[in-house]
């Protein structure tokens, strides 16, 4: 190839000496040119590297401490191996990941069951008399209000341990007998197992509970200075104390809401109302499912509300759907045959044969806002089912009463 920097001489006009000199000059100029080009490339590379580093430094100073340490370390490590290519590749990959993560966040919507606010307000209304067994004999009613704080907290824990698999009146009776014998850590540790068993009988699994109470009290005395632990983890170290008891103890004894106390009532009703995204098999799964969407300021109230509601209306077997204000929105309404109710007694609850004005008003809201973001989890088909259920209810009520 002929270089553009040279012009050809006329053929045969030059001597061999001149040819030799020309060849020498051409070789020198070629070498010089290649050196100039190399130095230009190097200058461009140095400029690019300087520019890259200034961008990297600016990004590093804007990132949190932990990120900046990682970035600096990785860039330094790569500098040693491949100073020009590695930082560029690393930075591009990082930006891409951030973008994808942001995209995922934007797509993710917070799930919540449709109609839950209406259903909760109806449950509050049905519980307004506060006349369920839990209202009179729950764990927050069984301790000695005049006892020192650490003794009150210990009594709350003992009543929660006794209440497992036991009806509230039975728990309250056992607590009364224990308190007559001065229910403190010292008195329990000094009491023999037989006496303790007789005092708590007939609570469910009373023999096992005697062992658990003794072991837990011993641990409280030895490791926690005679007061119950003030963390969920600490409470769950005590024998016989699970997540439900730990969260309830944190709430009642320490006035610290750490989680939802999910017992059999809360578990059952949450599933019946469709308050869990998927059906849950165990109370612990229900707790996690509820805590994902239920506002934290309702965590304490929900246990008290649903336990009483489960004791009076949404019974384990034969829920009284005909009396429930949620029968028009509950997906489980009238699924199981309710128990026979004696009508006409002044004490018997009023059967709702058709939607009350308030229920009608709420239902019209439900239908009007059925497609809003808060209610989008239920399909139109489900709304139609609710309407159908509502129209069928009076007929069902008549059949249930045998009229």
What amino acid positions are annotated as catalytic residues?
244
Instruction: Evaluate whether 116 touches 273 at the Cβ level (below 8 Å).
Output: yes
Cβ atoms of 196 and 213 within 8 Å: the answer is yes
Minimum gap (Å) between residue 379 Cβ and ligand SF4: 19
What DSSP assignment string belongs to 151-217?
Answer: HHHHHHHHHHHHHTTS-HHHHHHHHHHHHHT--SHHHHHHS-HHHHHHHHTTSTTHHHHHHHHHHHH
| 232, 243 Cβ separation under 8 angstroms | yes
CA–CA dist 339, 352 (Å, integer): 15
Residues 6+ apart with CB under 8 A from 220: 154, 185, 226, 227, 228, 229, 238
What's the min distance (Å) between Cβ of 293 and ligand SF4? 18
Question: Which of 345, 353, 380 has the alpha carbon at shortest distance from 366?
Answer: 380
Q: Which residues would be at the binding site for ligand SF4 (CB under 6 A)?
A: 272-273, 313-314, 319-321, 324, 326-327, 330, 332-333
Which is nearer to ligand SF4, 196 or 306 (by Cβ)? 306
Closer to ligand SF4 by Cβ: residue 99 or 337:
337
Nearer to ligand SF4, 143 or 328 (CB): 328
Choice between 307 and 333, CB closer to ligand SF4: 333
What is the spatial distance between Cα 95 and Cα 357, in angstroms, rounded to a whole number? Answer: 57
Taking the complex as a whole, how short is the minimal distance between the CB of residue 314 and ligand SF4, in angstroms?
3
Residue number, 188 or 324, with CB nearest to ligand SF4: 324
Cis peptide before 202 (omega within 30 of 0): yes
Cβ at position 303, least distance to ligand SF4 in Å: 16
Tokens of 359: 């229920």
Tokens of 116: 């839950």
Distance CA 93, CA 90 (A): 5
Quick one: CA torsion of 306, 311, 315, 321, rounded to 10 degrees?
Answer: -70
Q: Which helix (H) or strand (E) holds 398?
A: helix 380-400
For the chain, state the CA radius of gyration.
Answer: 38
How near is the Cβ of 226 to ligand SF4 at its closest, in Å?
43
CB of 58 to ligand SF4, least distance (A): 59
**Shortest distance (Å) from residue 339 CB to ligand SF4:** 12
Alpha carbon distance 231, 123 (integer Å): 31
Nearer to ligand SF4, 331 or 370 (CB): 331
How many Cα atoms within 13 Å fall on the side-chain side of residue 103?
A: 6
Q: Which residues contact 29 (CB under 8 A, 6 or more apart)?
A: 5
| Residue 356 DSSP SS3 | coil
CB-nearer residue toward ligand SF4: 170 or 330: 330
């Amino acid at each position: 190839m002929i270089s553009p920097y040279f012009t050809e001489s006329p053929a045969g006009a030059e001597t061999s000496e001149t040819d030799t000199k020309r060849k020498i000059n051409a070789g020198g100029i070629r070498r010089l040119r290649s050196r100039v080009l190399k130095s230009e490339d190097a200058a461009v590379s140095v400029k690019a590297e300087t520019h890259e580093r200034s961008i990297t430094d600016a990004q590093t100073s804007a990132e949190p401490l932990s990120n900046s340490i990682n970035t600096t370390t990785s860039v330094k490590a790569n500098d040693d191996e491949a100073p020009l290519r590695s930082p560029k590749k690393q930075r591009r990959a990082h930006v891409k990941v951030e973008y994808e993560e942001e995209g995922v966040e934007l797509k993710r919507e917070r799930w919540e069951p449709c109609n839950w606010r209406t259903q909760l307000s109806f449950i509050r209304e049905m519980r307004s008399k506060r006349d369920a067994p839990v209202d009179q004999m729950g764990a927050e009613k069984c301790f000695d209000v005049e006892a020192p704080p650490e003794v009150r907290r210990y009594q709350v824990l003992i009543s929660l341990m006794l209440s497992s698999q036991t009806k509230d009146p039975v728990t309250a009776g056992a607590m009364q007998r224990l308190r007559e014998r001065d229910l403190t850590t010292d008195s329990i540790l000094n009491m023999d197992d037989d006496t303790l068993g007789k005092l708590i009988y007939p609570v469910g699994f009373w023999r096992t509970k005697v062992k658990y109470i003794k072991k837990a009290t011993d641990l409280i005395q030895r490791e926690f200075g005679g007061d119950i632990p003030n963390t969920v983890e600490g409470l769950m170290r005590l024998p016989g104390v699970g997540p439900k008891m730990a969260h309830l103890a944190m709430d009642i004894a320490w006035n610290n809401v750490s989680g939802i106390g999910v017992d059999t009532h809360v578990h059952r009703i949450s599933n019946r109302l469709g308050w869990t995204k998927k059906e849950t098999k165990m109370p612990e799964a229900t707790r996690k499912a509820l805590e994902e969407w239920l506002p934290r300021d309702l965590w304490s109230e929900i246990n008290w509300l649903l336990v009483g509601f489960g004791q009076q209306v949404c019974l384990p077997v034969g829920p009284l759907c005909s009396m429930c204000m949620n029968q028009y929105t509950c997906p489980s309404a009238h699924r199981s045959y309710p128990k026979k109710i004696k009508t006409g007694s002044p004490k018997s609850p009023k059967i709702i044969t058709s939607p009350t004005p308030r229920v009608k008003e709420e239902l019209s809201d439900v239908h009007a806002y059925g497609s809003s973001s808060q209610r989008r989890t239920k399909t139109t088909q489900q709304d139609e089912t609710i309407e159908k259920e509502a129209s069928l209810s009076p007929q069902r009520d008549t059949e249930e009463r045998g009229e």
